[in-house]
Structure 1
Amino acid sequence: MSGLRIAILTHSTNPRGGVAHCLALAEALCALGQEAVVHAPDPAGRGFFRDAACPTVTVAAKAVAGGTVALVRARINDYLRHFSTPAACDFDVFHAHDGIGGNALATLRHRRLIPNFVRTVHHVENFSDPPLAEWQDRSIREAARLLCVSRTWADWVGHEFGAGADVVGNGVDLSAYRTEPTKADAAVRERWGLGPGPVILSVGGFEERKNTLGIIEAFARLRAHHPEAQLVVAGGASLLDHASYRARCRAALASAGLVVDRGSAVIETGPLPQADMPALYRVADVLAFPSWKEGFGLCVLEAMACGTPAIVSRQPPFTEYLAPADALFVDPADSDDIAGAMAAALSPDTRTRLRASGLARAAAHSWRTCAVRHLDAYAACARTRQDLIHA
């Protein structure tokens, strides 16, 4: 297929799984001879959380006072202003990865500025606010082609919307996520005051669907037998309001006598540059990722590529792409089960087994393969655009 100009829209420039997916996908598409340009609203004006080997556009975004509904509405309007002219819409394919971009593209289609769009459904939130729920549904319902990163969500889309969705999967950059230590490993230990450990890593911040409360309860049990254990809670950038859940997590930490600070039992890093993540995975003894809901769980592959064992929920999508020997599977509702997996991950024999299986599993997921799986959907939408131009 000849090179296409593809506008990829994501919701943020921050280090979230969906944003990381967009950048890596675009890089792989460019390596295949396409011109994929990642767009994101950028109210802070700092650009994307990492440099990218693909074109990027930071969309001018206004500051917002108000809750999540006001923020999402503002970000949709930011995109509408950016793509308000035919010149700005000079792409063969438009591809949204969330409800913000999807709603903007749906409106542009109604305004006849674009013919159609592709929508990747990473996962779906259970919104209590009617506008958020309607925006999410509209972004899926009005797409010309639907893609999902797992069969789990493709089946959900089929059941809820009666629409077919192709499974494109995820990838991991083995040139960035590697087992070999670098100077960054020691720097990460020093920056966050990490001691002899064991070090338990949680990625995603204090967020309900990440099951941070379950991780905290399990970690408190682990500390009874490993008093020098430390829990690192990395990431947490989100457009959604997690304040009430964060307060519950803080209360649970206080009740367990766990101090949050550099060098303490619990370290909260906040969002991190991608350059720090391979080192953080390597210095961790285990990734604790017993999520309630994931689109895929990209950080599991990243940890495995760095030789770090992973704890995951015994449910899709993890059971879809991981074999029983690849990770430690737990009931996300059972903090004792999670604590037991944390302890098991410290056993040398278990670590050796999980390391070997994890490295093989990570190597089987390439961004090139993921990018190739997009090409049929892109070609179909590009043909529609050409038909419209020549009609």
Structure 2
Amino acid sequence: MHIALLTYSTKPRGGVVHTLALAEALAARGNDVAVWTLGRGADTAFFRPVRPEVRVRVVPFAARDGEGVGERIERSIDVMSAALDTDADVVHAQDCISANAALRRGIPVLRTVHHLDAFTTPQLVACHDRAVREPVALLSVSAAVSAEVEGLYGLRPHVIPNGVDASRFAAAAGPDAAPARDRWRSELGDYVLALGGIEPRKGSIDLLEGFARLRASHPCLRLVFGGGETLFDYRDYRAAFDARAAELGIVPTVLGTVDDDALPSLVAAARVLGFVSTKEGFGLAAMEALAAGTTVVARDLPVIREVFGDAVLYASTPEEIAFRIGSALTASGDVDRDAGRRLARAHTWDAAARAHEAFYRDVIGQTSSSGTAAHAPARTR
């Protein structure tokens, strides 16, 4: 099959990581795969090398001073739509921006809904809504998100779980990677790690509040944030986070985007991964942490229960977060790490690619037999 996968960024966000891994797995199975993305600023490539079998199309997207979030979203759609030129058998978008770009060009598009967000910016609301209602078919990476989409839109996406590069993160916990872990511990000491930046969906302030309750019993413990590259504007939330951190007398370490080669050892060296998002589609970062043998404290959400079962420690309030991190640090609340590693190994990108191939063939067959137009509503799966 000729497959075009669309994403909105070159940065290491969860949906982008998913896009690249899926593209490589599909290409390894003999498909012709191209990945289209926006290259903001001077970006001309993704955050990591992509296997040469996958063709990469980075659409230049220059920064504009003073541009608001809504304007930036609209321009992102316009720029990507104008550049998108593909006769692929399947065009598969991973986010609302790239889905809208294809729809605006009149291209029938499939869409993976990784999670549903509640936006207030009008352009984002419209982008999000159209990218659920108008694709020819929908996917999600968990049954919980699929059910949420059905409840709000009356359309039930087909579920294909994420894969995970478990061997890469397991290797970061092995003896050969000890020097890399030691470098992080030398720089950071004992630390609780959060990935994805400081933003509302990640529950960053709740994690901060929970961490503050641990200082008396763990005075040398540090709170570390990695990642956080996004098109969206979370300045108000970040200001609230910084103000609360100052009130609590906490100075978090904010690493920003972490080099892809260094990420596994950063995860493996952490005492705990704080994964207290208020919304998730699957929880790829948490699954990578389990592969590395790192204990995960996660918010108690239906999707996390579905994907992780008893492999993580659950907490929702700052008090619960503090208790669970504290118990993990003392091993009294530890989970079965071998079970976590087995769970991570069970989610392979090859299995995800095979499931996508079957879904693509089904959609192509149904579209061909029904003469589905470019703007037909998404089918319930």
- Aligned residue in 2 for 1:165: 157
- Aligned residue in 2 for 1:184: 180
Measure the CA separation in 1 of the matches of 2:268 and 2:24. 25
Q: Quick one: which amino acid aligns to residue 342 of structure 2?
A: A
Measure the CA separation in 1 of the matches of 2:303 and 2:64. 34
Give the TM-score of the pair, scaled to structure 2: 0.91
Consecutive unaligned residues in structure 2, runs of 5 or more:
372-381
Please give the per-residue CA displacement for 1:279-307, whole angstroms capped at 9, x wherever unaligned: 01111011011111111111000000001
Measure the CA separation in 2 of the matches of 1:290 and 1:318. 10
- Aligned residue in 2 for 1:59: 59
What's the CA shift for 1:383?
4.2
Q: Is residue 328 of structure 1 aligned with residue 313 of structure 2?
A: yes
**SS at structure 2 position matched to 1:374:** helix
| The one of 33, 37, 48 aligned to 2:34 | 37
- Aligned residue in 2 for 1:250: 242
Q: Is residue 229 of structure 1 aligned with residue 221 of structure 2?
A: yes
**SS at structure 1 position matched to 2:254:** strand
Measure the CA separation in 2 of the matches of 1:171 and 1:377. 16
Q: How does 1:359-378 map to 2 (within 5 A)?
A: 359-378=341-360
Q: Quick one: which amino acid aligns to residue 105 of structure 1?
A: A
| The one of 4, 7, 10 aligned to 2:7 | 10
> Does the CA contact (< 8 Å) of 2:272 and 2:297 recur in 1?
yes
Give the TM-score of the pair, scaled to structure 1: 0.89
> Does the CA contact (< 8 Å) of 2:324 and 2:333 recur in 1?
no
Please give the per-residue CA displacement for 1:98-156, whole angstroms capped at 9, x wherever unaligned: 111111111122xxxx3x11100001211112221111111111111100011111112
Structure 1 pair 348–132 and aligned structure 2 pair: CA distance change class (3 A): closer
Q: How does 1:233-382 map to 2 (within 5 A)?
A: 233-259=225-251, 266-324=252-310, 326-331=311-316, 334-348=317-331, 350-351=333-334, 353-382=335-364
**SS at structure 1 position matched to 2:70:** helix
Measure the CA separation in 2 of the matches of 1:248 and 1:59. 34
Q: Quick one: which amino acid aligns to residue 106 of structure 1?
A: L
Q: Quick one: which amino acid aligns to residue 35 of structure 2?
A: V
**SS at structure 2 position matched to 1:154:** helix
- Aligned residue in 2 for 1:263: none
**Bigger shift: 374-383 or 36-45?**
374-383
> Does the CA contact (< 8 Å) of 1:39 and 1:58 recur in 2?
yes
- Aligned residue in 1 for 2:104: 107
- Aligned residue in 1 for 2:139: 147
- Aligned residue in 2 for 1:220: 212
What's the CA shift for 1:171?
1.3
Q: Quick one: which amino acid aligns to residue 40 of structure 1?
A: T
Measure the CA separation in 2 of the matches of 1:244 and 1:100. 23
Count the aligned residue pairs.
363
> Does the CA contact (< 8 Å) of 1:64 and 1:74 recur in 2?
no
> Does the CA contact (< 8 Å) of 1:12 and 1:40 recur in 2?
yes
> Does the CA contact (< 8 Å) of 2:93 and 2:109 recur in 1?
yes
What's the CA shift for 1:311?
0.5
**SS at structure 2 position matched to 1:177:** helix
Please give the per-residue CA displacement for 1:325-356, whole angstroms capped at 9, x wherever unaligned: x110112xx111100001111133644x4312
Please give the per-residue CA displacement for 1:150-187, whole angstroms capped at 9, x wherever unaligned: 11111122222222311011111123111315132233
Measure the CA separation in 2 of the matches of 1:202 and 1:272. 12
Measure the CA separation in 2 of the matches of 1:64 and 1:303. 37
**SS at structure 1 position matched to 2:249:** coil
Measure the CA separation in 2 of the matches of 1:55 and 1:349. 49
Q: What's the C-alpha RMSD, in Å, of the aligned pairs? A: 1.8
**SS at structure 2 position matched to 1:246:** helix
Greater than 4 Å deviation, 4+ residue runs: 383-388
Consecutive unaligned residues in structure 1, runs of 5 or more:
260-265
Measure the CA separation in 1 of the matches of 2:247 and 2:156. 47
Q: Is residue 28 of structure 1 aligned with residue 10 of structure 2?
A: no
Identity %: 36
**SS at structure 2 position matched to 1:50:** coil
Please give the per-residue CA displacement for 1:346-383, whole angstroms capped at 9, x wherever unaligned: 133644x4312211111111111111221233113444
Q: Quick one: which amino acid aligns to residue 380 of structure 1?
A: D
Measure the CA separation in 2 of the matches of 1:48 and 1:242. 23
> Does the CA contact (< 8 Å) of 1:96 and 1:120 recur in 2?
yes
> Does the CA contact (< 8 Å) of 1:188 and 1:276 recur in 2?
no
> Does the CA contact (< 8 Å) of 1:92 and 1:385 recur in 2?
no
